[in-house]
């Protein structure tokens, strides 16, 4: 066996019948660093065990190929993500730029106020994108922390609804709240984060429901658990999408062609926040065109 700089470069075995050395393995140049482990195995397995050495080499080759595949697919995902992100950032920025120009030129008050509304909306959209990216980074590095306190769930849900009332009105989607008759529900939660969660579900319901549809936000309690349910009469979700819907960057195919925006992060962040609250979230849909239902379940804290 010839070893150069820690790598096996040549490996032979004595053929007793022919009384000569038979080449088992010969590398034209140095074996790549990734095969160091294999070299070690070959080094230590003894010349007689050719099969073990070959198997170890084959295994390493397969591992390297799998690694290369993984890197390629990661690279593709990164390019795809940058493409989506650039579009999502470019749209509001372009609208803001032309809106500002228009504000500069127009002497028409009506146009001025309409443009101002658009500017506010697009700036909010930009902030939302950046917030989602920051949240995703925080979650990925385990840095998202909750500031929990006793929360009146009914009041919190009303605030979340107020945030979205205007959007629903503009798209002519009916938004109603069903608080049942069980009285206020108290839980221990981070009010900002929980409002964000309800907001995410309402925003999706708004985005994926056509004009004339309806959305109901229901609150109820059962067996020491509080439930928040957002049910819409919108586009619905195909059965094969349900399982991955809470994964980051997942957006259903059916959404293509639909006037949709976003990075596909809202539900991933929502699920993470709910899990930090020791709760669960699930989704139901009877299929495309049949609406969707998201149900959150949280532990109750009696006051
Ligand atoms: N109420 C709903 N009705 C139909 N499809 C939905 C609904 N909510 C979510 N989805 C599907 O799940 C996907 C992921 O939702 P998610 O909220 O994570 O991302 P997004 O809304 O596309 O973008 P973002 O929330 O990052 O702005 C959506 O793109 C859509 O395909
Ligand atoms: Mg969303």
* pLDDT tens by residue, 68-107: 999 998 888 888 888 888 988 998 899 999 999 998 888 8
Write out pLDDT tens, residues 206-241: 999 999 999 999 999 998 999 999 999 999 999 999
Q: How far is the CA of 39 from the centre of ligand 2 (A)?
A: 50
Name residues contacting ligand 1 (CB within 6 A): 132, 204-205, 208, 232, 234-235, 237, 245, 250-252, 255, 262-268, 292
> To the nearest 10°, the Cα dihedral for 127, 132, 133, 137?
140
Nearest atom in ligand 1 to the alpha carbon of residue 209 is 3
pLDDT of residue 228: 98
Pick the atom of ligand 1 nearest to 132's CA. Answer: 26
Same fold, 74-140 and 149-299: no
Nearest to 204 by CA among 81, 91, 127, 294: 294
First vs last C-alpha separation in the chain:
77
Residue where the block lists tokens 């586009």: 235
Residue 31: pLDDT band by 50, 70, 90 thresholds?
very low
Lowest mean pLDDT among 6-10, 145-149, 243-247, 252-256: 6-10
In the predicted structure, residue 41 carries a pLDDT above the cut 60: no
Q: Whose CA is nearest to atom 13 of ligand 1?
A: 251
- Distance in angstroms (rounded) separating the CA atoms of residues 18 and 140: 62
The residue whose CA is least distant from atom 10 of ligand 1 is 204
> Please, what is the average pLDDT of the chain?
85
Query: How large is the average pLDDT for residues 174-187?
Result: 93
40, burial (CB in 10 Å: exposed 0-12, middle 13-18, buried 19+): middle
pLDDT digits (tens, 9 = 90+) for 100-118: 999 888 888 999 999 999 9
| Residue nearest to ligand 1 atom 7, measured at CA | 204
| φ/ψ of residue 172, rounded to 5 | 55, 50
Minimum-distance ligand to the CA of 248?
Answer: 1
Quick one: which atom of ligand 1 is closest to the CA of 291?
3
Domain 149-299, CATH: 3.30.565.10
- Domain ranges, ordered by start, for the chain: 2-67, 74-140, 149-299
Res 271: pLDDT? 97
Gap from CA of 108 to ligand 1 centroid (Å): 38
Q: Sheet harboring 174-178: ordered strands across?
A: 174-178, 214-222, 225-232, 292-299, 280-284
pLDDT of residue 123: 94
Per-residue model confidence (pLDDT) at position 233: 97
**Ligand 1 atom index nearest CA of 268:** 18
Using an 8 Å Cβ cutoff, are 219 and 238 in contact?
Answer: no
> Is residue 299 within 8 Å of residue 224, measured between CB atoms?
yes
Question: Does position 120 have pLDDT exceeding 50, yes or no?
Answer: yes
In the predicted model, what is the mean pLDDT of residues 161-168?
92
The band of 262, judged by pLDDT with boundaries at 50, 70 and 90, is: confident
CA of 92 to the centre of ligand 2 (A): 17
Local confidence band at 44 (pLDDT 50, 70, 90 cut-offs): low
Instruction: Kindly state the percentage of the chain with pLDDT values over 70.
Output: 81
What pLDDT was estimated at residue 19?
59
Looking at domain 74-140, its CATH architecture is Orthogonal Bundle (1.10)
Task: Say if residue 50's pLDDT is above 80.
Answer: no
Residue 178: other Cβ atoms inside 10 A:
11
pLDDT at position 282 over 80: yes
Whether the per-residue pLDDT at 141 is higher than 70: the answer is yes
């Amino acid at each position: 066996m010839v070893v150069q700089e820690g790598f096996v470069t040549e490996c032979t075995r004595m053929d007793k019948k022919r009384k000569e050395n038979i080449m088992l393995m010969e590398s034209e140049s140095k074996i790549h660093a990734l095969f160091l482990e294999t070299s070690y195995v070959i080094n230590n397995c003894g010349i007689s065990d050719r099969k073990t050495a070959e198997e170890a080499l084959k295994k390493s080759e397969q591992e390297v190929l799998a690694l290369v595949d993984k890197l390629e697919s990661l690279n593709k995902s990164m390019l795809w993500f940058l493409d989506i992100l650039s579009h999502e950032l470019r749209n509001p920025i372009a609208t803001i730029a032309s809106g500002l120009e228009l504000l500069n030129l127009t002497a028409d008050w009506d146009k001025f106020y309409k443009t101002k509304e658009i500017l506010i909306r697009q700036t909010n959209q930009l902030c939302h994108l950046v917030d989602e990216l920051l949240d995703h980074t925080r979650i990925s590095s385990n840095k998202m922390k909750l500031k929990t306190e006793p929360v009146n769930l009914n009041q919190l849900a009303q605030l979340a609804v107020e945030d979205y009332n205007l959007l629903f009105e503009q798209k002519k989607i009916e938004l109603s709240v069903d608080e049942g008759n069980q009285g206020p529900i108290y839980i221990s939660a981070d009010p900002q984060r929980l409002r964000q969660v309800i907001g995410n579900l309402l925003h999706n319901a708004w985005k994926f429901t056509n004009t004339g549809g309806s959305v109901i936000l229901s609150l109820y309690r059962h067996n020491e658990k509080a439930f928040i349910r957002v049910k819409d009469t919108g586009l619905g979700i195909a059965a094969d999408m349900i399982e991955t819907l809470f994964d980051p960057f997942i957006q259903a195919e059916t959404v293509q062609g639909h006037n949709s925006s976003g990075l596909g992060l809202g539900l991933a962040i929502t699920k993470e926040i709910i899990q930090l609250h020791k709760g669960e979230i699930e989704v139901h849909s009877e299929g495309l065109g049949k609406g969707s239902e998201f149900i959150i379940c949280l532990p109750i804290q009696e006051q």
